[in-house]
Amino acid sequence: MQKRELGRDGLRVSALGLGCMGLSYGYGPATDRTEAIALIRAAYERGVTFFDTAEAYGPALNEEVLGEALEPFREAVVIATKFGFRNGQPGDGLDSRPERIRQVADAALIRLRTDRIDLFYQHRVDPDVPIEDVAGTVKELIAAGKVKHFGLSEAGAQSIRRAHAVQPVAALQSEYSMWWREPEAEILPLLEELGIGFVPFSPLGKGFLTGRFGADATFAEGDFRGTVPRFSAEALKANQALADRVRELAETKGVTPAQIALAWLLAQKPWIVPIPGTTKLHRLEENLGGADVELTPDDLARIEHALATVHVQGDRYAPSHQQFVNR
């Protein structure tokens, strides 16, 4: 698979990464450990060198599994993890105090079976800790050799600028896909100006863009999509028009909806690296095929036109979490 560079400090990764959250968090029961390890190794064998995890995804089930899976080829891969929630639990609120960041780094190094975190993101901006202190703490971790690169997630423009002035930011990880295009207004131009890479999370719209959630979809216990307004019965019904457009566009190109959704993101900027998540080998293979789909200027214009015909309904987060994003 082709490589891309995030930031201006030599962070080279495969054009598509693997998002590991769903292996243990957010979408229902955790995947069996042996199966999860096999999936992660299958991704590596198919050219993926960029793996995304977080303390918040359940440290024992996510960082530890990733650490075990990648240990045999550690030198050939880039591991990204995140700090920033109190006790590592999103439900407990935010905590980016410097002592906590240092603690999370040390614990993550052990769980990931490594001597350095390649990319260490602040998961959400913490209004109680100046972003300069966060950037300064990561800068010290970089000087100590425990961290290689600094990242932010769902940060607003001012936070990005302030953090970047203290410690250059290699990558911003925020939601971006055919059904959430807000970053195009202010964030992408800012990243281009500062030379920061962009890692779109939920690039398949948490699965919606693949067409698998019809108007009558229901979500299992522990699947947080069941609490997201955009996945409410009413919104799903209204948003089927988007899934239909994506399917039609995919058919025109002879590819799948997931592949066109990923190819479209890759076509936006050469410094964009989406991290689709899946727990299944056949979907991993399908998604990686998205990196081989070439979109011509005509294709992109057709997609732009088709997306403009649909108005997506429903917030992307429940009200309790909405306050944490883009600040």
Active site residues: 57
SS3 208: helix
The DSSP element (H or E) to which 118 belongs, if any, is strand 117-122
| CB neighbour burial string for 31-43, b if at least 16 within 10 angstroms, e if fewer | bebeebbebbebb
SS3 153: strand
Min CB(219)–ligand NAP separation in Å:
10
Nearer to ligand NAP by Cβ, of 30 and 109: the residue is 30
How many angstroms separate the CA atoms of 202 and 175, rounded?
6
Min CB(262)–ligand NAP separation in Å:
9
Which span (5-13, 17-25, 93-101, 126-134) binds ligand NAP, by CB under 6 A?
17-25
The pair of structure tokens assigned to 116 is 């350095």
Nearer to ligand NAP by Cβ, of 51 and 271: the residue is 51
The residue behind tokens 């890479």 is: 197
Q: Which of residues 117-156 bind ligand NAP (CB under 6 A)?
A: 123, 153-154
Q: Which of 181, 241, 183 is nearest to 208 (CA)?
A: 241
Among positions 278, 299, 310, 316, the unique one binding ligand NAP when judged by CB under 6 A = 278
Q: Give the x/- contact pattern for ligand NAP in 180-219, rule: CB under 6 A.
A: ---------------------xxxxxxx--x-x-------
Nearer to ligand NAP by Cβ, of 140 and 227: the residue is 227
Nearer to ligand NAP by Cβ, of 140 and 240: the residue is 240
How many angstroms separate the CA atoms of 249 and 210, rounded?
12
Q: How many residues bind ligand NAP (CB under 6 A)?
A: 29
Min CB(54)–ligand NAP separation in Å:
7
Nearer to ligand NAP by Cβ, of 16 and 141: the residue is 16
Within 8 A by CB and 6+ apart from 244, the residues are none
Min CB(225)–ligand NAP separation in Å:
8
The verdict on 78 binding ligand NAP (CB under 6 A) reads: no
How many angstroms separate the CA atoms of 244 and 204, rounded?
14
The verdict on 27 binding ligand NAP (CB under 6 A) reads: yes
Min CB(246)–ligand NAP separation in Å:
12
The verdict on 55 binding ligand NAP (CB under 6 A) reads: no
The residue behind tokens 């990561």 is: 138
Q: What are the DSSP calls for 240-286, one per residue?
A: HHHHHHHHHHHHHHTS-HHHHHHHHHHHH-TTB----B-S-HHHHHH
Backbone φ, ψ for residue 150 (5° rounding): -105, 140
Nearer to ligand NAP by Cβ, of 144 and 265: the residue is 265
The verdict on 12 binding ligand NAP (CB under 6 A) reads: no
How many angstroms separate the CA atoms of 6 and 323, rounded?
28
Count of other CB atoms within 10 angstroms of residue 76: 9
The verdict on 19 binding ligand NAP (CB under 6 A) reads: yes
Among positions 197, 286, 288, 310, the unique one binding ligand NAP when judged by CB under 6 A = 286
Among positions 275, 288, 291, 310, the unique one binding ligand NAP when judged by CB under 6 A = 275
How many angstroms separate the CA atoms of 31 and 122, rounded?
26
Min CB(277)–ligand NAP separation in Å:
3
* Residues of this chain that bind ligand NAP (CB under 6 A): 19-22, 27, 52, 123, 153-154, 173, 201-207, 210, 212, 258, 275-280, 283, 286-287
